[in-house]
Structure 1
């Protein structure tokens, strides 16, 4: 059986090992039976960062109950270090784009940041975590990005590890070209974070605040004004390609 022959992957936080009988949640059972139209005997994959990815047949599949007997390790567990993404939340659908694409691009932490121009409303951490989980199931990741509690810009900077470079997307054009910033300040993608501001950008006092820490580097993403979700994708893709 080839690696790609099993298309259904579900995250399972508990231990995975040969012969283990894994009980799935009611929501997962509903998804497998009613959405994917699978049947008992069909093979699916379960994964987590510690134990890797395992596959096995569905021993039981009912409306609210499903069990898998895992029998084949497809990939061992492995660390998946990656950049952090701090961003001002947007409206629901656009925040979902950021969460999904950041997960696909290997982000290790998602940090919602409330700025003066943030218009996204209340941050639903559980919804963001669920969106990240679904994206991880689709993109062959083993790990899930951590979703941090929302914080102010001042709180973000106060708690930021000084050894981790923070690349600040500056739509005013005052930063380094992102390729130059990456080549001159980063050794690998796990050494950094990216900060994407709100629609309308950072206020002048926020830009001044960001100029104080030595770990901040202002970056320029090109001659056009990008939407926040586009800027996040561009920056993460550049880091992934150039480190």
Structure 2
């Protein structure tokens, strides 16, 4: 007797939608999402797609109409409630577009809750297309099966970031000149946290002094080698998640 196929199929397309989802909710998809489903995935009535709304969680939905310009689906079952992600913010100095795209993608995969781009004196880039950045995060979340989208803010200058810092949040400063043991600092300062990583040319001495003067700042080392900005952001996030984040679960 053949095995019962998994439901929903693991190969089912997965999309984030802005519509609030609920049992039996009917969702009409158009634009790029409809094109992806109809032309790329070639869905037909009766097929299953996975929808997430960043509010309730992940739903299995059945295709009821599949046209060239729109696809209509009906929610049938809640598969997972929206995940609880650690209260962790990545404060990454703005990098060139392709490198910062990599930071956004991997930060999403690793479980970051919020991303705060930072402008420092040695930043090569000084602008960020927020709409495009959010699209990168959505695509990454769809690929890695997140049910909660990371939020992202507009870039802020370093001095403003430090001036407005939340007194209840620890700031782990990845200082290329050296710092304390990363794992020990993470373990000793649990709770709402953020990690600050630098640009291509690193922080200058005045910036480094200003960061270290913040009462909530803890200078850490990311090893004996000089890391690229994107590598430092990804490595620091992974270390925090593996030490005190939700990888422990």
TM-score by length of 2: 0.91
Tell me the CA shift for residue 225 of structure 1.
Answer: 0.7
1:31-89 Cα deviation digits (max 9, x unpaired): 11222233332211111332111111211222321111110111123432331011111
Corresponding residue for residue 177 of structure 1: 181
Q: Pick the aligned partner of 1:112 from 98, 110, 117.
A: 117
Tell me the CA shift for residue 221 of structure 1.
Answer: 0.3
Q: Tell me, what secondary structure is at the counterpart of 2:68?
A: coil
Q: How many pairs are equivalent?
A: 239
1:164-207 Cα deviation digits (max 9, x unpaired): 1011111112x1121111111124xxx10011110110011101
Corresponding residue for residue 11 of structure 1: 16
Tell me the CA shift for residue 143 of structure 1.
Answer: 1.1
More divergent stretch after superposition (102-111 vs 24-33): 24-33
Asked whether the equivalents of residues 168 and 218 of structure 1 are also in contact (C-alpha less than 8 Å), the reply is yes
1:120-149 Cα deviation digits (max 9, x unpaired): 242111111110011111111111111101
Corresponding residue for residue 84 of structure 1: 89
1:3–1:170 CA distance, 2 compared to 1 (3 A): farther
Q: Tell me, what secondary structure is at the counterpart of 1:211?
A: helix
Tell me the CA shift for residue 222 of structure 1.
Answer: 0.3
CA distance in structure 1 between the aligned counterparts of 2:82 and 2:92, rounded to whole angstroms = 29
Q: Runs of 5+ in structure 2 lacking a partner? A: 1-5, 245-249
Asked whether the equivalents of residues 85 and 112 of structure 2 are also in contact (C-alpha less than 8 Å), the reply is no
1:152-231 alignment, distance < 5 Å = 152-173=157-178, 175-187=179-191, 191-231=192-232
1:209–1:4 CA distance, 2 compared to 1 (3 A): farther
TM-score by length of 1: 0.93
More divergent stretch after superposition (61-70 vs 217-226): 61-70
CA distance in structure 1 between the aligned counterparts of 2:66 and 2:214, rounded to whole angstroms = 54
After TM superposition, what 4+ stretches of structure 1 lie above 4 angstroms from structure 2? none
Q: Tell me, what secondary structure is at the counterpart of 2:117?
A: strand
CA RMSD of aligned residues (A): 1.5
Tell me the CA shift for residue 21 of structure 1.
Answer: 0.5
Tell me the CA shift for residue 159 of structure 1.
Answer: 1.9
Asked whether the equivalents of residues 83 and 192 of structure 1 are also in contact (C-alpha less than 8 Å), the reply is yes
Corresponding residue for residue 98 of structure 2: 93
Asked whether the equivalents of residues 177 and 222 of structure 1 are also in contact (C-alpha less than 8 Å), the reply is no
CA distance in structure 2 between the aligned counterparts of 1:59 and 1:160, rounded to whole angstroms = 49
1:231–1:97 CA distance, 2 compared to 1 (3 A): same
Tell me the CA shift for residue 14 of structure 1.
Answer: 2.1
